[in-house]
Structure 1
Amino acid sequence: MLNPDRRSFLRAAGAATLLTAVSSGGIGRAFAADPAPTGPFTLPDLPYKPDALEPHIDATTMGLHHGKHHQAYVNNLNKALADHGELAKLPLEELLAKLDEVPDAIRTAVRNNGGGHANHSMFWQIMGAPGGPGPEGELKAAIDSDLGGLEKLQTDFNAAGGKVFGSGWVFVTVDANGKLALVSKPNQDTPVMEGKRVLFGNDVWEHAYYLKYQNRRPDYLKAWWNVVNWKAIGERYAAAKAGTLKI
Structure 2
Amino acid sequence: MPLELTALPYDRTALEPHLSGDTVDQHHGRHQRALIERINALNAGGEFEEAALETIVRKAQGELFDCAAQAWNNAFYWRSLRPAATAAGVPSGALADAIQSQFGDTDTLRQRFDAAALRHFGAGWVWLVQRPDGRLGIAVTANAATPLTGEDTPLLAASLWEHAAYLDYRDDRRRYLDAFWQLVNWDSVAARLRR
Q: Same fold (TM over 0.5)?
A: yes
1:83 to 22, 33, 45: 45
Q: Whole-Å Cα distance in 2 between the matches of residues 159 and 117 of structure 1?
A: 25
Alignment CA distance shift 1:212-1:187 (3 Å): same
**Structure 2 residue 90 is the aligned partner of structure 1 residue 152:** no
Partner of 1:114: 68
**Structure 2 residue 6 is the aligned partner of structure 1 residue 44:** yes
Q: Which runs of 5+ in 2 are unaligned?
A: none
Shift of 1:109: 1.2
Q: Is the 8 A contact 2:132 2:152 kept in 1?
A: no
The runs of 4+ residues in structure 1 deviating greater than 4 Å are none
Shift of 1:178: 3.8
Q: Is the 8 A contact 1:128 1:229 kept in 2?
A: yes
Partner of 1:223: 179
**Structure 2 residue 51 is the aligned partner of structure 1 residue 95:** no
Q: Whole-Å Cα distance in 1 between the matches of residues 50 and 190 of structure 2?
A: 30
2:21 to 49, 54, 59: 59
For 1:88-122, what per-residue CA distance to the aligned partner results, in whole angstroms no more than 9, with x for missing partners? Answer: 334433332334xxxxxxx3212211111110111
Shift of 1:235: 1.5
Bigger fraction of residues in helix: 1
Shift of 1:87: 2.5
Q: SS of 1:113's equivalent?
A: helix
Shift of 1:195: 4.1
Given residue 33 of structure 2, which amino acid in structure 1 is its aligned partner? Q
**Structure 2 residue 149 is the aligned partner of structure 1 residue 193:** yes
Shift of 1:176: 5.6
Structure with greater contact order relative to length (CA < 8 Å, sep ≥ 6):
2
What percent of counterpart residues are identical? 32
Larger Rg: 1
For 1:139-167, what per-residue CA distance to the aligned partner results, in whole angstroms no more than 9, with x for missing partners? Answer: 11011112332111100111111111111
How high is the TM-score relative to the length of structure 2? 0.91
Given residue 53 of structure 2, which amino acid in structure 1 is its aligned partner? L
Q: Which runs of 5+ in 1 are unaligned?
A: 1-37, 100-106, 242-247
Partner of 2:92: 136
Q: SS of 1:57's equivalent?
A: coil
Partner of 2:117: 161
How high is the TM-score relative to the length of structure 1? 0.73
